[in-house]
Amino acid sequence: MGSSSNDPFITATLIFRSQQGMLTADEQDKLDAWIAASDENRQLWVELNNPDVQQQNVRAMARFDETAALERFLSNKPAKSNIRRMRFLHTWKWAAAVLVLALGVSTYYLLTPGAQNGDHFGGKSALHDIPPGKNGAILTLADGTQLVLDSLGEGKIATQNGTQISLNNNELKYDATAATDDAARNTITTPKGRQYHVVLPDGTEVWLNAASSIQYPVAFKGRERRVKISGEVYLEVAAKSWQPFIIETDQMKLEVLGTSFNVNTYNDEKTIRTTLLTGAVKITPMHTTQPKVLVPGQTAVLSKPDASEGATLTITETPDPDKIIAWKNGLFNFDGLDLYSVMRQLERWYNIDVQYIGKPDNVIFKGKMHRNTNLSDVLKVLETMDVNFELKGNILYVR
Protein backbone atom coordinates (compact mmCIF):
# COMPACT_ATOMS: atom_id res chain seq x y z
CA MET A 1 0.00 0.00 0.00
CA GLY A 2 1.29 3.46 -0.88
CA SER A 3 2.15 5.94 1.78
CA SER A 4 -0.16 8.81 2.59
CA SER A 5 0.73 12.24 1.23
CA ASN A 6 1.21 15.49 3.14
CA ASP A 7 0.70 17.54 -0.03
CA PRO A 8 -2.88 18.85 -0.22
CA PHE A 9 -2.61 19.21 -4.00
CA ILE A 10 -1.80 15.52 -4.50
CA THR A 11 -4.43 14.31 -2.05
CA ALA A 12 -7.03 16.66 -3.53
CA THR A 13 -6.22 15.28 -6.97
CA LEU A 14 -6.76 11.73 -5.71
CA ILE A 15 -10.09 12.68 -4.11
CA PHE A 16 -11.24 14.44 -7.25
CA ARG A 17 -10.19 11.55 -9.52
CA SER A 18 -11.96 9.12 -7.18
CA GLN A 19 -15.18 11.10 -7.46
CA GLN A 20 -14.82 10.95 -11.24
CA GLY A 21 -14.13 7.17 -11.23
CA MET A 22 -10.67 7.71 -12.75
CA LEU A 23 -8.31 6.26 -10.10
CA THR A 24 -5.62 3.76 -11.04
CA ALA A 25 -4.86 0.89 -8.64
CA ASP A 26 -1.75 2.68 -7.32
CA GLU A 27 -3.69 5.92 -6.81
CA GLN A 28 -6.41 4.01 -4.95
CA ASP A 29 -3.75 2.61 -2.58
CA LYS A 30 -2.45 6.12 -1.91
CA LEU A 31 -5.95 7.44 -1.26
CA ASP A 32 -6.74 4.54 1.08
CA ALA A 33 -3.52 5.24 2.98
CA TRP A 34 -4.45 8.91 3.37
CA ILE A 35 -7.97 8.06 4.60
CA ALA A 36 -6.55 5.62 7.17
CA ALA A 37 -3.87 8.05 8.39
CA SER A 38 -6.14 9.98 10.80
CA ASP A 39 -9.68 10.32 12.11
CA GLU A 40 -9.79 13.82 10.61
CA ASN A 41 -9.02 12.44 7.15
CA ARG A 42 -11.69 9.75 7.48
CA GLN A 43 -14.27 12.32 8.59
CA LEU A 44 -13.43 14.62 5.69
CA TRP A 45 -13.67 11.71 3.24
CA VAL A 46 -17.17 10.87 4.51
CA GLU A 47 -18.24 14.52 4.31
CA LEU A 48 -16.91 14.99 0.79
CA ASN A 49 -18.93 11.99 -0.37
CA ASN A 50 -22.10 13.24 1.35
CA PRO A 51 -24.60 14.50 -1.27
CA ASP A 52 -25.66 17.37 1.00
CA VAL A 53 -22.04 18.54 1.35
CA GLN A 54 -21.54 18.26 -2.40
CA GLN A 55 -24.60 20.45 -3.00
CA GLN A 56 -23.21 23.03 -0.58
CA ASN A 57 -19.92 23.01 -2.52
CA VAL A 58 -21.79 23.57 -5.78
CA ARG A 59 -23.60 26.56 -4.24
CA ALA A 60 -20.28 27.89 -2.94
CA MET A 61 -18.74 27.60 -6.40
CA ALA A 62 -21.67 29.48 -7.89
CA ARG A 63 -21.06 32.36 -5.45
CA PHE A 64 -17.28 32.42 -5.88
CA ASP A 65 -16.00 35.63 -7.50
CA GLU A 66 -12.55 34.74 -8.84
CA THR A 67 -11.75 38.22 -10.13
CA ALA A 68 -12.62 39.91 -6.83
CA ALA A 69 -10.55 37.36 -4.90
CA LEU A 70 -7.53 38.00 -7.09
CA GLU A 71 -7.91 41.75 -6.70
CA ARG A 72 -8.01 41.36 -2.90
CA PHE A 73 -4.68 39.54 -3.01
CA LEU A 74 -3.13 42.14 -5.32
CA SER A 75 -4.32 45.06 -3.21
CA ASN A 76 -2.29 43.69 -0.27
CA LYS A 77 0.83 42.67 -2.14
CA PRO A 78 4.13 43.16 -0.24
CA ALA A 79 6.87 45.65 -1.01
CA LYS A 80 9.31 45.18 -3.86
CA SER A 81 12.11 42.63 -3.59
CA ASN A 82 15.17 41.74 -5.64
CA ILE A 83 13.62 38.61 -7.09
CA ARG A 84 9.97 38.48 -8.06
CA ARG A 85 8.35 35.38 -6.66
CA MET A 86 5.00 33.70 -6.49
CA ARG A 87 4.44 31.91 -3.18
CA PHE A 88 1.55 29.60 -2.50
CA LEU A 89 -0.68 30.27 0.51
CA HIS A 90 -0.03 27.23 2.70
CA THR A 91 -2.81 27.69 5.23
CA TRP A 92 -5.76 26.39 3.25
CA LYS A 93 -7.47 23.15 4.27
CA TRP A 94 -8.02 19.89 2.42
CA ALA A 95 -11.63 20.74 1.57
CA ALA A 96 -10.49 24.01 -0.01
CA ALA A 97 -8.01 22.06 -2.10
CA VAL A 98 -10.80 19.88 -3.45
CA LEU A 99 -12.88 22.97 -4.14
CA VAL A 100 -10.00 24.46 -6.12
CA LEU A 101 -9.87 21.29 -8.19
CA ALA A 102 -13.50 21.68 -9.12
CA LEU A 103 -13.21 25.42 -9.76
CA GLY A 104 -9.94 25.33 -11.66
CA VAL A 105 -9.10 28.75 -10.21
CA SER A 106 -5.69 30.20 -9.57
CA THR A 107 -6.49 32.80 -6.93
CA TYR A 108 -5.12 30.86 -3.95
CA TYR A 109 -1.69 32.40 -4.57
CA LEU A 110 0.17 34.99 -2.57
CA LEU A 111 2.16 37.06 -5.02
CA THR A 112 5.36 38.92 -4.28
CA PRO A 113 6.32 41.02 -7.33
CA GLY A 114 9.85 42.33 -7.68
CA ALA A 115 12.13 45.23 -7.99
CA GLN A 116 12.89 46.34 -11.48
CA ASN A 117 9.38 47.02 -12.65
CA GLY A 118 7.46 46.36 -9.43
CA ASP A 119 4.07 47.84 -10.39
CA HIS A 120 1.57 45.41 -11.84
CA PHE A 121 0.38 45.96 -15.37
CA GLY A 122 -2.21 43.64 -16.82
CA GLY A 123 -1.63 41.95 -20.16
CA LYS A 124 -4.26 41.99 -22.85
CA SER A 125 -7.02 39.58 -21.94
CA ALA A 126 -7.53 36.69 -24.30
CA LEU A 127 -10.71 36.80 -26.32
CA HIS A 128 -10.87 33.02 -26.19
CA ASP A 129 -9.50 30.34 -23.93
CA ILE A 130 -7.56 27.12 -24.35
CA PRO A 131 -8.52 24.12 -22.21
CA PRO A 132 -5.90 22.00 -20.46
CA GLY A 133 -4.47 18.84 -21.96
CA LYS A 134 -6.06 15.47 -21.30
CA ASN A 135 -5.45 11.73 -21.51
CA GLY A 136 -4.83 10.51 -25.03
CA ALA A 137 -2.19 9.09 -27.35
CA ILE A 138 -1.53 7.52 -30.73
CA LEU A 139 -0.60 3.82 -30.86
CA THR A 140 1.49 2.83 -33.88
CA LEU A 141 1.41 -0.91 -34.57
CA ALA A 142 4.24 -2.91 -36.12
CA ASP A 143 2.72 -2.63 -39.62
CA GLY A 144 2.47 1.16 -39.36
CA THR A 145 -1.25 1.27 -38.54
CA GLN A 146 -2.05 4.17 -36.22
CA LEU A 147 -4.84 4.09 -33.64
CA VAL A 148 -6.02 7.23 -31.83
CA LEU A 149 -6.54 5.75 -28.37
CA ASP A 150 -8.75 8.49 -26.92
CA SER A 151 -11.28 7.90 -29.72
CA LEU A 152 -11.61 4.12 -29.26
CA GLY A 153 -14.02 2.15 -27.11
CA GLU A 154 -13.21 -0.28 -24.29
CA GLY A 155 -11.99 -3.82 -24.93
CA LYS A 156 -9.58 -5.49 -27.35
CA ILE A 157 -8.28 -3.16 -30.06
CA ALA A 158 -5.55 -5.23 -31.75
CA THR A 159 -3.52 -8.45 -31.73
CA GLN A 160 0.21 -8.39 -32.44
CA ASN A 161 2.01 -11.73 -32.91
CA GLY A 162 -0.23 -13.44 -30.37
CA THR A 163 -0.22 -10.56 -27.89
CA GLN A 164 -3.66 -9.08 -27.23
CA ILE A 165 -3.89 -5.31 -26.79
CA SER A 166 -6.87 -3.85 -24.99
CA LEU A 167 -8.17 -0.60 -23.52
CA ASN A 168 -9.44 -0.53 -19.93
CA ASN A 169 -10.55 2.81 -18.45
CA ASN A 170 -8.62 4.57 -21.23
CA GLU A 171 -5.41 2.76 -20.25
CA LEU A 172 -3.56 0.47 -22.64
CA LYS A 173 -2.76 -3.07 -21.46
CA TYR A 174 -1.01 -6.05 -23.03
CA ASP A 175 -1.69 -9.77 -22.55
CA ALA A 176 1.38 -11.65 -23.79
CA THR A 177 0.22 -15.09 -22.62
CA ALA A 178 0.02 -16.43 -26.19
CA ALA A 179 2.80 -14.28 -27.65
CA THR A 180 5.15 -15.77 -30.23
CA ASP A 181 8.93 -15.46 -30.05
CA ASP A 182 8.91 -12.96 -32.88
CA ALA A 183 7.91 -9.91 -30.86
CA ALA A 184 6.51 -7.01 -32.86
CA ARG A 185 7.29 -3.49 -31.70
CA ASN A 186 4.70 -0.83 -30.90
CA THR A 187 5.10 2.90 -30.32
CA ILE A 188 2.91 5.12 -28.17
CA THR A 189 3.16 8.84 -28.92
CA THR A 190 1.53 11.69 -27.00
CA PRO A 191 1.06 14.87 -29.03
CA LYS A 192 1.18 18.25 -27.33
CA GLY A 193 -1.86 18.59 -25.08
CA ARG A 194 -2.00 14.88 -24.23
CA GLN A 195 -0.57 12.52 -21.59
CA TYR A 196 -0.96 8.76 -21.21
CA HIS A 197 -0.51 5.76 -18.94
CA VAL A 198 0.34 2.30 -20.26
CA VAL A 199 1.13 -1.05 -18.66
CA LEU A 200 3.80 -2.86 -20.70
CA PRO A 201 3.67 -6.65 -21.26
CA ASP A 202 6.05 -7.29 -18.31
CA GLY A 203 3.89 -5.27 -15.88
CA THR A 204 6.05 -2.13 -16.02
CA GLU A 205 3.92 1.01 -15.69
CA VAL A 206 4.73 3.99 -17.88
CA TRP A 207 3.38 7.54 -17.75
CA LEU A 208 4.09 9.75 -20.76
CA ASN A 209 4.01 13.53 -20.47
CA ALA A 210 2.91 15.67 -23.42
CA ALA A 211 5.01 15.43 -26.62
CA SER A 212 6.64 12.15 -25.60
CA SER A 213 6.94 8.60 -26.89
CA ILE A 214 7.98 5.07 -25.98
CA GLN A 215 8.79 2.21 -28.36
CA TYR A 216 8.71 -1.36 -27.00
CA PRO A 217 8.09 -5.01 -27.98
CA VAL A 218 4.62 -6.44 -27.43
CA ALA A 219 6.28 -9.29 -25.51
CA PHE A 220 9.65 -9.37 -23.68
CA LYS A 221 11.08 -12.74 -24.72
CA GLY A 222 14.87 -12.27 -24.66
CA ARG A 223 17.52 -11.82 -21.96
CA GLU A 224 16.67 -8.17 -21.56
CA ARG A 225 13.74 -5.78 -21.81
CA ARG A 226 14.68 -2.96 -24.17
CA VAL A 227 12.63 0.18 -24.90
CA LYS A 228 13.32 3.58 -26.45
CA ILE A 229 11.87 6.85 -25.17
CA SER A 230 11.71 10.54 -26.02
CA GLY A 231 10.22 13.57 -24.27
CA GLU A 232 9.44 13.03 -20.56
CA VAL A 233 8.52 9.65 -19.13
CA TYR A 234 7.99 8.30 -15.62
CA LEU A 235 8.44 4.55 -15.14
CA GLU A 236 7.79 2.04 -12.39
CA VAL A 237 9.72 -0.96 -13.66
CA ALA A 238 8.56 -4.48 -12.81
CA ALA A 239 11.32 -6.26 -10.87
CA LYS A 240 12.84 -9.13 -12.87
CA SER A 241 16.48 -9.58 -11.87
CA TRP A 242 17.05 -12.17 -14.62
CA GLN A 243 15.89 -9.76 -17.31
CA PRO A 244 17.39 -6.25 -16.99
CA PHE A 245 15.29 -3.33 -18.22
CA ILE A 246 17.19 -1.19 -20.76
CA ILE A 247 16.07 2.30 -21.79
CA GLU A 248 17.59 4.04 -24.79
CA THR A 249 17.43 7.72 -25.66
CA ASP A 250 19.31 9.59 -28.39
CA GLN A 251 22.00 10.55 -25.85
CA MET A 252 22.26 7.75 -23.28
CA LYS A 253 21.35 4.29 -22.07
CA LEU A 254 19.84 3.39 -18.68
CA GLU A 255 19.93 -0.06 -17.08
CA VAL A 256 17.55 -0.97 -14.25
CA LEU A 257 16.30 -4.09 -12.49
CA GLY A 258 13.27 -2.78 -10.61
CA THR A 259 12.85 0.88 -9.81
CA SER A 260 10.83 4.08 -10.26
CA PHE A 261 12.32 7.12 -11.94
CA ASN A 262 11.65 10.07 -14.24
CA VAL A 263 13.52 10.87 -17.46
CA ASN A 264 13.28 14.26 -19.18
CA THR A 265 14.79 14.20 -22.69
CA TYR A 266 12.93 17.07 -24.37
CA ASN A 267 14.88 18.51 -27.29
CA ASP A 268 14.16 22.10 -26.22
CA GLU A 269 15.76 21.62 -22.79
CA LYS A 270 19.49 22.22 -22.35
CA THR A 271 20.10 18.99 -20.41
CA ILE A 272 18.71 15.48 -20.06
CA ARG A 273 17.66 14.80 -16.47
CA THR A 274 17.08 11.42 -14.85
CA THR A 275 15.69 11.47 -11.28
CA LEU A 276 15.62 8.26 -9.25
CA LEU A 277 12.91 7.72 -6.63
CA THR A 278 13.48 4.05 -5.72
CA GLY A 279 15.91 1.29 -6.69
CA ALA A 280 19.05 1.87 -8.73
CA VAL A 281 19.85 3.02 -12.27
CA LYS A 282 23.10 2.81 -14.20
CA ILE A 283 23.48 5.58 -16.80
CA THR A 284 25.83 5.32 -19.75
CA PRO A 285 26.03 8.38 -22.03
CA MET A 286 26.46 7.58 -25.72
CA HIS A 287 29.54 9.80 -25.95
CA THR A 288 31.52 8.28 -23.04
CA THR A 289 32.33 4.84 -21.71
CA GLN A 290 32.15 5.82 -18.04
CA PRO A 291 28.71 4.97 -16.60
CA LYS A 292 27.42 6.29 -13.27
CA VAL A 293 25.00 4.69 -10.84
CA LEU A 294 22.16 6.67 -9.24
CA VAL A 295 20.81 6.06 -5.76
CA PRO A 296 17.34 7.25 -4.63
CA GLY A 297 17.10 11.00 -4.23
CA GLN A 298 19.68 11.76 -6.92
CA THR A 299 19.39 13.30 -10.38
CA ALA A 300 21.76 12.66 -13.26
CA VAL A 301 22.21 15.76 -15.42
CA LEU A 302 23.59 15.08 -18.89
CA SER A 303 24.59 18.09 -20.94
CA LYS A 304 24.03 17.90 -24.67
CA PRO A 305 27.20 17.85 -26.77
CA ASP A 306 27.93 20.74 -29.12
CA ALA A 307 30.63 21.62 -31.60
CA SER A 308 32.97 23.02 -28.93
CA GLU A 309 32.80 20.29 -26.29
CA GLY A 310 31.39 16.86 -25.57
CA ALA A 311 28.64 15.87 -23.20
CA THR A 312 29.21 15.86 -19.43
CA LEU A 313 27.37 13.79 -16.83
CA THR A 314 27.01 15.07 -13.27
CA ILE A 315 25.10 13.76 -10.26
CA THR A 316 23.15 16.12 -8.00
CA GLU A 317 20.98 15.64 -4.93
CA THR A 318 17.22 16.02 -5.36
CA PRO A 319 15.71 17.63 -2.23
CA ASP A 320 12.13 17.39 -3.54
CA PRO A 321 11.55 14.42 -5.87
CA ASP A 322 7.80 15.12 -5.85
CA LYS A 323 8.53 18.33 -7.75
CA ILE A 324 10.07 16.32 -10.58
CA ILE A 325 7.03 14.07 -11.01
CA ALA A 326 4.42 16.77 -10.31
CA TRP A 327 3.22 16.46 -13.92
CA LYS A 328 2.44 12.78 -13.36
CA ASN A 329 0.35 13.75 -10.30
CA GLY A 330 -1.65 16.35 -12.24
CA LEU A 331 0.29 19.45 -11.12
CA PHE A 332 2.50 22.20 -12.39
CA ASN A 333 5.30 22.79 -9.87
CA PHE A 334 6.96 26.11 -10.71
CA ASP A 335 9.33 26.20 -7.70
CA GLY A 336 12.57 27.86 -8.79
CA LEU A 337 11.67 27.88 -12.49
CA ASP A 338 12.26 30.89 -14.70
CA LEU A 339 9.82 32.36 -17.19
CA TYR A 340 11.21 30.47 -20.18
CA SER A 341 11.09 27.09 -18.39
CA VAL A 342 7.46 27.73 -17.41
CA MET A 343 6.58 28.73 -20.97
CA ARG A 344 8.05 25.49 -22.35
CA GLN A 345 5.77 23.53 -20.02
CA LEU A 346 2.73 25.53 -21.12
CA GLU A 347 3.61 25.05 -24.79
CA ARG A 348 3.50 21.28 -24.42
CA TRP A 349 0.44 21.02 -22.18
CA TYR A 350 -1.79 23.53 -23.96
CA ASN A 351 -0.48 22.82 -27.47
CA ILE A 352 0.38 26.43 -28.12
CA ASP A 353 3.24 28.29 -29.79
CA VAL A 354 5.01 30.79 -27.50
CA GLN A 355 6.70 33.75 -29.15
CA TYR A 356 8.68 36.45 -27.32
CA ILE A 357 8.50 40.13 -28.20
CA GLY A 358 11.64 41.87 -27.03
CA LYS A 359 13.37 40.24 -24.07
CA PRO A 360 10.99 39.84 -21.10
CA ASP A 361 12.49 39.92 -17.62
CA ASN A 362 13.33 36.42 -16.43
CA VAL A 363 10.89 36.08 -13.52
CA ILE A 364 11.55 33.32 -10.95
CA PHE A 365 8.47 31.49 -9.66
CA LYS A 366 7.59 29.48 -6.60
CA GLY A 367 4.24 27.70 -6.39
CA LYS A 368 1.96 24.99 -7.69
CA MET A 369 -1.07 24.88 -9.92
CA HIS A 370 -3.28 22.08 -11.17
CA ARG A 371 -2.76 21.10 -14.77
CA ASN A 372 -6.53 20.62 -15.01
CA THR A 373 -6.83 24.39 -15.46
CA ASN A 374 -7.64 26.54 -18.49
CA LEU A 375 -4.78 28.55 -19.91
CA SER A 376 -6.47 31.83 -18.97
CA ASP A 377 -6.27 30.93 -15.25
CA VAL A 378 -2.53 30.37 -15.53
CA LEU A 379 -2.02 33.62 -17.43
CA LYS A 380 -3.96 35.62 -14.82
CA VAL A 381 -1.38 34.61 -12.23
CA LEU A 382 1.63 35.13 -14.48
CA GLU A 383 0.42 38.58 -15.57
CA THR A 384 0.62 39.75 -11.95
CA MET A 385 4.36 39.09 -12.17
CA ASP A 386 4.80 41.98 -14.62
CA VAL A 387 4.71 39.74 -17.68
CA ASN A 388 2.44 40.81 -20.52
CA PHE A 389 0.60 38.20 -22.60
CA GLU A 390 -1.55 38.30 -25.69
CA LEU A 391 -3.21 35.18 -27.07
CA LYS A 392 -4.01 35.19 -30.77
CA GLY A 393 -5.38 31.91 -32.02
CA ASN A 394 -2.88 29.29 -30.92
CA ILE A 395 0.03 31.72 -30.51
CA LEU A 396 0.86 33.22 -27.11
CA TYR A 397 2.89 36.43 -27.37
CA VAL A 398 5.04 37.23 -24.32
CA ARG A 399 6.33 40.76 -23.68
| Overall average pLDDT of the 211-226 stretch | 93
Q: According to DSSP H, which parts of the chain are helical?
A: 8-19, 25-36, 39-48, 51-63, 66-75, 94-103, 321-324, 339-350, 375-383
Q: Are 262 and 324 in contact (CB under 8 A)?
A: yes
Highest mean pLDDT among 23-37, 59-73, 223-237: 223-237
Pairing label, strands 245-248, 225-230:
parallel
Q: What band does 212 get if pLDDT is binned at 50, 70 and 90?
A: very high
Q: How many residues does the chain have?
A: 399
CA distance 102 to 6: 20
pLDDT of 96 reads 47
pLDDT of 119 reads 30
Of residues 181, 100, 170, 103, the one with CA closest to residue 139: 170
pLDDT of 4 reads 54
Q: pTM for this one?
A: 0.71
DSSP 45-110: HHHHT-HHHHHHHHHHHHH--HHHHHHHHHHT-----SS-EEEE-TT--HHHHHHHHHHT----EE
Q: What band does 182 get if pLDDT is binned at 50, 70 and 90?
A: low
Of residues 329, 215, 327, 210, the one with CA closest to residue 268: 210
- The torsion angles phi and psi of 2, rounded to 5 degrees, stand at -70, 160
**312-335 pLDDT tens trace:** 889 999 989 999 999 999 999 988
80-84, 201-205, 281-285, 338-342: least confident range: 80-84
The angle formed by the CA atoms of residues 301, 302 and 306, to the nearest 5 degrees, is 145
- Considering only residues 248 and 103, tell me which one the structure prediction assigns the higher pLDDT: 248
pLDDT of 19 reads 67
Residue 132 has pLDDT above 70, yes or no: yes
pLDDT of 227 reads 97
**45-96 pLDDT tens trace:** 877 776 655 555 544 444 444 444 444 444 444 433 333 444 333 333 444 4
pLDDT of 8 reads 65
5-19, 229-243, 356-370: least confident range: 5-19
Strand partners, 195: 135
Q: What band does 117 get if pLDDT is binned at 50, 70 and 90?
A: very low
| Overall average pLDDT of the 185-191 stretch | 96
pLDDT of 84 reads 41
What is the residue-averaged pLDDT of the chain?
Answer: 78
CA distance 245 to 255: 6
